[in-house]
Amino acid sequence: MRHYELVFVLKPTMSEEEMASKLEQIQNLITSNGGEIYNLDKWGRRELAYPIQKFNSGYYYIINFKTENPELPGKLEYNLRLDEDIIRFLNFKLKTPKNTEEKPAETSETKE
């Protein structure tokens, strides 16, 4: 199982409904291709370090997901690159977080 973190910035001119729709679209893309989202953070509107496409701020989102499908990150990046509402994104592979690791089954021993 591979773990990934996706950070993306939406245009500041989008309405709340448009942002919710875009977030749902990205989540559906991940889950429909064999991914499982285990964390979603909405950072809200933040100032950018430098102007991007003449915007000085944007809405930040972070999605942590895991998948066994090795093609999902490439497919996700392709779709994000084509989307005009996303002004920046970064998707990278994480080391397996300790809090999501599978714990081995405990064996019960009987003492006589």
For the chain (112 residues), the mean pLDDT of every run of 10, in chain order, is 95 96 96 95 95 96 94 94 96 79 47 46
Q: What is the pLDDT of residue 81?
A: 96
Q: What is the pLDDT of residue 76?
A: 95
* Cα R_g (the chain), whole angstroms: 18
| Burial zone of 57 (CB within 10 Å; 0-12 exposed, 13-18 middle, 19+ buried) | middle
| 104 phi-psi bin (left φ>0, alpha ψ -120 to 50, beta other) | beta
Maximum alpha-carbon separation in the chain: 75
Q: What is the pLDDT of residue 98?
A: 67
Architecture of domain 2-94: 2-Layer Sandwich (3.30)
